[in-house]
Amino acid sequence: MRVVVADDSLLVRKGIVTLLREAGIEVQAEAASADALLAAVDEHRPDVAIVDIRMPPAFDDEGIQAAHALRAKHPQMAIVLLSQHVDFGTAMLVLAERPERLGYLLKDRVTNVTEFAATLRRVAAGGTALDPEVVQRLLASRADNGPLSVLTEREREVLALVAEGRSNRGIGDRLGVSERAVQKHVTAIFDKLGLAPGEDDNRRILAVLLYLRSAS
């Protein structure tokens, strides 16, 4: 898998690059700004762009602006947004728009390089990855109303893990149940949310979309 890393902090960028390379991921280019990122992507056509949200010049949401531009120009490329903290604002809006091939993670997650590499792969394969912290906050902030109120506690737990971008097997591992049991829950969730039978991956994304929209 080939990636491009954009982060204005040299130390952090080098750290990420070093860790990814040691995990066997090919880092094609590094960028210190949004403009450099766009140029690097145009040049290297990576599978995933890893983008810090705050970058120069204004240190506001340049990363998100860049992600918009990248998605318009390279819809097949996956993007993982890195942030120093959980921000429900603009990042949520970007995700809710079109969650496939998109991840939103706290920067700290990079230090667990194995898990981070797995996330990169899932997103590159068309999935969605939400930081567990974000999911926690969404769960906490979600009132009893909304379309998700029809789900049981367990089903919501499963949906949260789906939103994190985990596979049925990963969810089963996390919850200590079999993959089959997870599949049952997932099917129940799809039924309850009225998602028509079809391609499983597609339905997973739709469920996440619903999940995100009910949060924002």
Partner 1 sequence: MSVLRLSESTPALWRFTDPRPKTVAWVALWTGAIVLELLALLPVVTDRGAPVTGPGIVFSLVGGSFAACGLIAWNRRPDSRSGALMTATGFAFFLLPLLGPRDSELAQTIGNLTADWWIFFFVALLLTFLTAGRLRTRFDQALVASFALPVVVLQVLSMLVSPPEGNLLSAFPDAGVSDAVDKAQRFTLGGLCVIVAVVVGARWLRASRRRRLALLPSVAGGACLLLFAMVLVNDLVTGSRSETLLWIAACSLVSVPAAFLAGLLRSRLARGALTDLMRTLRTQRNVSLQQALATTLDDPLLTVAYRLPGSLGYADASGEPVLVPPLEPARASARIEHDGEELAALVYDAGLDDDPELLEAVVAAAAIAIENERLQAESAQRVLELRASRERLVAAGDAERRRLERNLHDGAQQRLVAIALQLRILQGRIRRDPEAAEELAAAAGDELALSLAELRELARGIHPAVLEHGLAAALESLASRSPVPTTVACALKLPEPLELAAYFVASEALANVAKYSRATSASVRVWRAGDTARIEIADDGVGGADASSGSGLRGLADRVEALDGRLSVVSPPGAGTIVAAELPCA
Q: Which residues bind partner 1 (CB under 8 A)?
A: 9, 11-12, 15-16, 18-19, 22, 54, 59, 84-85, 107-108, 110-111, 113
Shortest Å, Cβ 5 to partner 1: 12
Give the strand order in the sheet containing 48-52.
26-31, 2-6, 48-52, 78-83, 102-106, 128-130
> Which CB atom, from 18 or from 152, has the smaller least distance to partner 1?
18
Read off the tokens for 5.
């890393």
Shortest distance in whole angstroms from residue 138 CB to partner 1:
22
Helix (H) or strand (E) holding 79: strand 78-83
Query: What SS3 state is found at 54?
Result: coil
- Report the alpha-carbon distance of residue 94 to residue 152 in Å, rounded: 28
Residues 79 and 128 sit within 8 Å (Cβ to Cβ): no
81 CB neighbour count, 10 Å cutoff? 25
Which of 52, 100 has the CB closer to partner 1?
A: 52
Measured from the CB atom, the residue of 21 and 73 that comes closer to partner 1 is: 21
Q: Which runs of consecutive H residues, i.e. helices, occur in 164-215? A: 168-175, 179-192, 200-215
Smallest distance from partner 1 to CB 96, Å: 24
C-alpha–C-alpha distance, residues 43 and 35, integer Å: 12
Helix/strand/coil for 147 = helix
User: What is the closest distance, in whole angstroms, from the C-beta atom of residue 68 to partner 1 in the complex?
Assistant: 22
Q: Would you say 39 or 113 has its CB closer to partner 1?
A: 113
Distance of closest approach, residue 112 Cβ to partner 1, in angstroms: 8
Residue 16 C-beta: closest distance to partner 1, Å: 6
Q: Which is nearer to partner 1, 113 or 181 (CB)?
A: 113
The closest alpha carbon to 209, from 67, 121, 71, 100, belongs to 100
Of 43 and 59, the one with the shorter C-beta distance to partner 1 is 59
